[in-house]
Amino acid sequence: MADLKLPKINRIQISGRITKDLEMKTTSGGTAVLRFSIASDRMWKDKEEWKTETTFVNIQAWSGLAESINRQAHKGSAVLIEGRLSCNKYEKDGVQKEFWEIIADTCHVLEWLPKGDAATPDPAPPTNEDVPF
């Protein structure tokens, strides 16, 4: 049996609204890391009634991207995230646990500031080329 040549792709694109205040931290090496979560809705029609399913997704951004999101977004902001899916495993009280999150490569804040506001969004958010792992 020949080996299957499978492309190594781990890409995800998701949109939603930020569910709580952004958590900005800095690593001991001085790299910015931002954590937040979004609520992403999926709608479908069941017979004559529309239904909604909401999925809550954890997001992590690094370096310049983290700083850009922290300046432009807040709780309730609509965002479009592109990145990769990551699973983190840890042990708590002798029980193996895991949680999934998206490591963002790009983030587009989908709401513009009101006209006349002194602060304007960056025209193109930076990408995350230098994730430290």
Residue 3 above 90 pLDDT?
no
Write out the two tokens for 11: 């890409």
Cβ-contact 56, 39 below 8 angstroms: yes
Write out the two tokens for 110: 């989908």
Residue 82 above 60 pLDDT?
yes
User: Strand runs (DSSP E) across the chain, as ranges?
Assistant: 12-18, 23-26, 32-46, 49-62, 78-92, 95-109
pTM: 0.75
pLDDT single digits (tens) 15-47 = 999 999 999 999 999 999 999 999 999 998 888
User: Which residue is listed with tokens 């239904």?
Assistant: 51
Write out the two tokens for 9: 């792709």
Write out the two tokens for 78: 């609509």
Q: Which domains does the chain have, with CATH numbers?
A: 12-42+51-109 (2.40.50.140)
